[in-house]
């Protein structure tokens, strides 16, 4: 079974490839993904749709700065080529993500990618 750190490494690979199916497969069916700039997304089907929409809207790249592991948790500190920085907390149970919370500056992201500011 994969450790939390190994799951997050696979998550980064799938994210950087824009691979909706591979990234979704890393989540439990009843997982929650809460990017604090947005409302929580609940369930693998909704998480799949979230990634499909996001990957279609912008080319995103996650450059790993650090990954820390403690018990069921992995913490990812990241940056992207445009200068955005953030971090994500992943609770991994039985090799799959049950809960994820991410912190990043949504306004900066929207402006960097030329997307409408809400």
Q: pLDDT above 90 covers what percent of the chain?
A: 79
| Predicted local confidence at residue 3, as pLDDT | 98
What is the pLDDT averaged over residues 42-64?
95
| Predicted local confidence at residue 18, as pLDDT | 97
Task: With CA atoms as reference, report the closest residue to 8 among 54, 69, 82, 61.
Answer: 69
Judged against a pLDDT cut of 90, whether residue 108 lies above it is answered with: no
Judged against a pLDDT cut of 90, whether residue 77 lies above it is answered with: yes
> Whole-model pTM?
0.90
| Predicted local confidence at residue 58, as pLDDT | 86
């Amino acid at each position: 079974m994969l450790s939390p750190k190994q799951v997050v490494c696979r998550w980064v690979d799938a994210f950087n490839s824009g691979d909706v199916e591979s990234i979704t497969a890393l989540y439990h069916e009843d997982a929650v993904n809460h990017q604090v700039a947005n409302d929580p997304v609940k369930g693998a089907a909704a998480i799949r749709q979230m990634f499909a929409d996001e990957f279609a809207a912008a080319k995103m790249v996650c450059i790993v700065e650090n990954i820390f592991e403690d018990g069921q948790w992995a913490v990812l500190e990241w940056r992207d080529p445009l200068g955005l920085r953030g971090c994500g907390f992943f609770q991994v149970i039985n090799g799959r993500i049950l809960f994820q919370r991410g912190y990043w500056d949504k306004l900066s992201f929207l402006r960097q990618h030329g997307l409408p500011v809400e």
